[in-house]
Chain A
């Protein structure tokens, strides 16, 4: 006869309610761990998915994610000439916030080096990938955009042609993929009035120095497009992604490019390290600490619940002692209930989590190892929490039955 089960059956309503409460609490612990993992996953997702061997960024910066990096796009061609480089693609990344259908919409725009990079590396779950050089956009499902939606960005209107799933930035914003030129157009977009003022200022600057007087035809160009003035240089990108050819050493190529005075080079792991130790480090540690605190709070609450349940049974426990029950019978009664409370609470947490976590604004990633670890922690908490009740039960005097 199992006394723990019999007692639970007798007080099934109270037990279920208590278990549900514990389950909610454990769901928070589970969710906190999931948010932690989601943050790490989001931070390293792009670096992992793009799969570039090397990231070339502006000298002495930790770009393009941890800080701003600006390098000329021509660097792409320079790098492609290095021995051992299979391919090099310019990369641009920046975040925009727009109002769409009367709701704020945040997108991390990723510029793909069209036509070399058409985004083969990210999964399309609806629609299709990019098929033309301009005005097409693939967005993540979490943005709420649908294929066919028209989204004004800069001076152009982009059509959503496809959707990805689970592609979010380190800050949790949905990613949107466009061609590099489009991304630059969005990033460096200026209002017409600002352009007009800049062109007038350029002309005035030319009139004010020798160059304008010696080369008067420059004045005509200065009043036109920026791209028509060679002295202004090429457009800037965030980074250049490098794939190393098979048989070549990634370290050797990195060392070679790293000797150039205008760039810094990071390996894939180095870039991930930058993200985890930089951009998301504090959030990551804060979540970790909060999770640890939640575990402690859960342990205390479980201990108090089990202690209260034991107090309710103190008279029965005294009676059991009086009729000669061994301590192991009483210990088993309390500990089995503690373990059941923990086990069922854990299951409730998992089921509720599966249902609720997808609605969280940021990704909650339940990793199998974390689930196993939490199960073990709950097991240990259940044992420790029952000790308080067991301690009280062991002190119960059989003569209490007479009172």
Chain B
């Protein structure tokens, strides 16, 4: 395990992911390089099937790359397909995920969903309760703490999902089309939340999105097409 000491939350170089082999071989991501700093929010754009989700799953340590290196929070995690750390433990301590659907555990209340992320990391029950309450207040859904996900609106569920993603104070937050199931107003609210999280929680945030109306909220924009991360765009305000 090697470590770097810069302000980088996430750094990946030469990432390639190939599905199948022989004549069925598909290169989903080709030689991608990504860097996200702490406190930075980055958008990942591109057409469907372009490789965005595959890239995100590699950065989220869900799928291993065929080639390339991934360094998170200064720790080399993947080096050419080989994990250098206990991936699942590293994931729960350093990464947060939010998806198009909130994917909350249906038999746990909003507060319990957040506590679960901490308790599986062996954090004391009292501390996890306190942190869950703080996060729910921070995200404006404190009054829904004891409600099951089925009793929450889509926007509320997504806020709880964000709270769960932030529970273990991750250095990187990955979001895959988190506003796709929301109307434009609530979608923008959630996206503003990500920006707030990036800046206030000092986390690097990557958000896959199709919604160009919200790009003003991002610090930087990446674009992906046919497996190639074509460019790191200029400042979002000029986009």
Contact = CB atoms under 8 A, between A and B. Distances in A.
Interface in B76-97: 88-93, 95, 97
Contact of B119 (A1, A10, A399, A402): A1
A154 interface: no
A401 B99 contact: yes
A7 interface: yes
Q: Specify which of B89, B112, B120 lies most central, judged by the most chain A CB atoms within 10 Å of its CB.
A: B120
B164 interface: yes
B189 to A, nearest CB: 23
A320 B120 contact: yes
A323 B90 CA distance: 10
A323 B92 contact: yes
A372 to B, nearest CB: 34
Interface string B107-120: 11000100111011
A6 B112 contact: yes
Interface residues of B, number: 30
Contacts of B91: 322-324
Interface string A1-40: 1010011011100000000000000000000000000000
Contacts of B92: 323-325
A329 B121 CA distance: 11
B120 A325 contact: yes
B150 to A, nearest CB: 10
A394 to B, nearest CB: 12
Contacts of B105: 3, 316, 319-320
Contacts of B89: 324, 326
Nearest to B57: A399
Interface residues of A, dominant DSSP: helix
Contacts of A10: 106-107, 148
B98 to A, nearest CB: 11
Contact of B93 (A3, A7, A324, A401): A324
Interface in B36-74: 53, 57, 60, 62-63
Contacts of A172: none
B106 A322 contact: no
Contacts of B156: none
A321 B107 contact: no
Interface in A294-330: 315-316, 319-326, 329
Interface of B: 53, 57, 60, 62-63, 88-93, 95, 97, 99, 103, 105-108, 112, 115-117, 119-121, 125, 148, 164, 176
12 contacts: A3-B108, A6-B112, A9-B107, A316-B105, A316-B106, A319-B105, A320-B120, A322-B62, A323-B91, A323-B164, A324-B95, A325-B88
Interface of A: 1, 3, 6-7, 9-11, 315-316, 319-326, 329, 398-399, 401-402
